[in-house]
Amino acid sequence: MSQTIDHPELSAAEWKLIQDLRALPEEALQARMLGSVQELLFFFGNPRCQGMGVEGFPCGEPRSTCEECHEVWDMLDRLSARNRKP
């Protein structure tokens, strides 16, 4: 697979994510998935709860309550566990 500036180096996991997104059956479903992934990326890059972060200092400018952040993390953990089951 030849990659150029227009097609930057992507890891196998990044290519799989793109292929899986393109394989979704409906355009509306693809748009919903893309929106969800964008929100998830924002969440990972900008944790904003009022509680203490892993490093022991506040997460930053509050965007949601600490409980809401933990609910999202718990849900992500449940999804990961479900996807690992045979």
Domain boundaries, the chain: 1-45, 46-86
Q: What are the pLDDT digits (tens) for 20-64?
A: 888 888 888 888 888 888 888 887 777 666 555 555 555 655 566
- This prediction has a pTM of 0.54
Question: Residue 9 in contact with residue 3, Cβ under 8 Å?
Answer: yes
Q: Residue 60 — left, alpha, or beta (φ > 0 → left; ψ -120 to 50 → alpha)?
A: left
The residue whose two tokens read 């964008």 is 38
2: pLDDT strictly greater than 60? no
Sign of the CA dihedral running 40, 45, 46, 51: positive
